[in-house]
Amino acid sequence: MTDIFDDRRYLVPFRSALLPQLFADVLVIGSGVAGLRAALAAAEQGREVVVLSKRDAATSSTAWAQGGIAAAVDEADDPDQHVADTLEAGAGLCDREMVEMLCREGPGEIDRLVEWGMRFDRDASGAPMLGREGGHHRSRILHTDGAATGAALASTMIDRVRGTDSIRLFEECTAIDLLTMDNDPGSPVIGVLTHHPTHGLQVIWTAAVVLAGGGAGRLFRETTNPRTSTGDAMAMAWRAGASIVDAEFVQFHPTTLYVAGSVRALLSEAVRGEGASIVDRRGRPIMAGVHPMGDLAPRDVVSARITEVLAESGEPCVFVDATRISGGFANRFPGLASRLAEFDVDPATTPIPVHPAAHYTIGGVQVDADGASRVPGLFACGEVSATGVHGANRLASNSLLEGLVFGARAGRAAAECDDAGRRPRLLAEAPPRRAGELDLVDVRASLRSAMWRNVGIERDGEKLQDALEMIDFWGRYCLDKTFDDVEGWEIQGMIAAARLIVRGALARTESRGTHRRRDHPDPDPAARVRYGWVRGRETPVRIPVAVDAAEADPLPNRGRKVPS
């Protein structure tokens, strides 16, 4: 039987000859930290670069980042300690070589940002003020205006890109599909089909594509992510024949604001880094005796503990008690204080109601140290990529750093590509499909609810199987249609990305890092491999992880109550 998920190649039937055509040496999909860094690196190699952004350039997870950027810049710190913390959080699945690259090349990227005008919070002596977050044994998080780091980072990098003549930034321009030679999945990438609200469909031919389209947090009803994080880039890469790894690992942030009517705004872990504590309704600390790092335990541990407390109490939320932060909450976190004031919450006197939400997509396109995927000419960096640096659970504030380090590497490698011999022999029309007439709002809401209910923090085989059946059902009638707007293509990508996550979660019959199965509550040493998925294969490819004596397997029942 033909599988609609494997069969589907392009979302829109088209003939390239009939469309406006553009050319770029390197085409970058995404204007977050990873895409902008890649674009700047490729431009430095003398390449003409186009950057696409689905909305305005500053709508991205990057611009929403709060806590900051982790890097061993302090004299008392050491990249090796950063490596050790990253490996420990990663629960036995990190790729050590990649982690070392991240932590050693990170400080140089910070210097670069400062050269470009990035302003970090500093003390009276001019030294950067360093915050602390879950899983870090030292204070090493650089931040701006308390917890408004992402906005400053995005504007610094966007200004830099706008000031670079060889980079063109196309806003409100959605990438729909990657075009490959002879339309074959796995053949070299030769261009991208795009859509712009006034210019319509167009083809951009290129020697190299850098996918930097961010994560897929919007697949879940409860999420910290912006509207752009719908997993388009993961789905597009899958259709073009890339391998997707670690799909089952979705990081849930423990503390998002839980106030009826508010968006699920993040309450940065940096707040706990300054001494706040998570408490239940009666004010009892819930992390005491759960993990040696207490409130600053890795995120998977804290989210699981909150879930356990909520299940026991039947309450909808727990609270962050920030009433004793030295120097006062509003001084250290002015942006968060004014957001809370909108909901009449004064953190100086009142514990803040919070709840976990989907936050970071660890899985994505399998890449090497230069961002190269298995599809020639296709690179990936940032949240859509799976470099192996995060293992089964990302260490806090490592992802902006990853976007910088591996974005630069991917941009430089993409600049080396040339398109000799990749003449487009395009493009036979795809078979006609039924016009899309669906209540897309309803499909989107149903998918996001099912993902939250069945594929959330606590998982089990039965619920995952139910989710897979629902997704397959929606896939059968949604993927078979041709839409002519971003809303429709986005839903098709969401369904494909969700299916990858659920299949990964079903295949991993153990609990490790962010992936927790009630029916398999402990880590399984035999499952200390990464699972990779490619089109047309029913079962995952097992990718070995270098086993290192320094990286202990996670404890059985990691994160559950242990005797204090």
Helices (H), 434-485: 440-454, 461-478
Binding site residues, ligand FAD, CB under 6 A: 29-35, 52-55, 59-62, 64-69, 149-150, 174-175, 212-214, 224-225, 228-229, 232-233, 266, 360, 382-383, 397-400, 403
Spatial neighbors of 178 by CB under 8 A, at least 6 apart, are 189, 191, 192, 209, 236, 237, 239, 240, 375, 378
- The least CB distance from residue 61 to ligand SIN, in Å, is 9
Binding site residues, ligand SIN, CB under 6 A: 66-67, 268-270, 396-397, 399
367 class by beta-carbon count within 10 Å (0-12 exposed, 13-18 middle, 19+ buried):
buried
Q: Between residues 87 and 175, which has the closer beta carbon with respect to ligand FAD?
A: 175
Contacted by 319, from ligand SIN, ligand FAD, none: CB < 5 to 8 Å by type? none
- The least CB distance from residue 396 to ligand SIN, in Å, is 4
Torsions phi, psi for 231 (to 5 deg): 75, 15
Query: Measured at CB, which residue is nearest to ligand SIN?
Result: 67
Q: Between residues 175 and 286, which has the closer beta carbon with respect to ligand FAD?
A: 175
Q: What angle do CA 279, 360, 89 make, to 5 degrees?
A: 70
Contacted by 269, from ligand FAD, ligand SIN, none: CB < 5 to 8 Å by type? ligand SIN
- The least CB distance from residue 526 to ligand FAD, in Å, is 31
Q: Between residues 30 and 347, which has the closer beta carbon with respect to ligand FAD?
A: 30
Collapse the DSSP code of 421 into the 3-class scheme (helix H, G, I; strand E, B; otherwise coil) and give the result: coil
Element spanning 155, H or E: helix 149-162
Contacted by 64, from ligand FAD, ligand SIN, none: CB < 5 to 8 Å by type? ligand FAD
535 is an active site residue: no
- The least CB distance from residue 384 to ligand FAD, in Å, is 6
Whole-angstrom Cα distance, residue 10 to residue 191? 13
Residue 473 CB neighbours (<10 A): 10
Contacted by 156, from ligand FAD, ligand SIN, none: CB < 5 to 8 Å by type? none
Q: Between residues 98 and 395, which has the closer beta carbon with respect to ligand SIN?
A: 395
Q: Between residues 67 and 475, which has the closer beta carbon with respect to ligand SIN?
A: 67
- The least CB distance from residue 249 to ligand SIN, in Å, is 14
User: Which one is catalytic: 96, 132, 299, 530?
Assistant: 299
The residue among 352, 319, 359, 296 whose CA lies nearest residue 132 is: 296
Collapse the DSSP code of 335 into the 3-class scheme (helix H, G, I; strand E, B; otherwise coil) and give the result: helix
Contact 161, 169 (CB under 8 A): yes
Contacted by 436, from ligand SIN, ligand FAD, none: CB < 5 to 8 Å by type? none
One DSSP character per residue, 160-188 reads HHHT-TTEEEETT-EEEEEEEGGG-TTSP
- The least CB distance from residue 96 to ligand FAD, in Å, is 20
Collapse the DSSP code of 24 into the 3-class scheme (helix H, G, I; strand E, B; otherwise coil) and give the result: strand
To the nearest 10 degrees (0 to 180), the angle between helices 33-44 and 399-415 is 30
Q: Between residues 39 and 93, which has the closer beta carbon with respect to ligand FAD?
A: 39
Spatial neighbors of 52 by CB under 8 A, at least 6 apart, are 27, 28, 29, 30, 31, 170, 173, 174, 175, 192, 194
Spatial neighbors of 523 by CB under 8 A, at least 6 apart, are 91, 92, 510, 511, 512, 553, 554, 556, 558
Q: Between residues 34 and 278, which has the closer beta carbon with respect to ligand FAD?
A: 34
- The least CB distance from residue 120 to ligand FAD, in Å, is 13
CA 231, distance to chain mean position in Å, is 9
Contacted by 179, from ligand SIN, ligand FAD, none: CB < 5 to 8 Å by type? none
Contacted by 54, from ligand SIN, ligand FAD, none: CB < 5 to 8 Å by type? ligand FAD
Contact 276, 320 (CB under 8 A): yes
Catalytically active residues, by annotation: 299
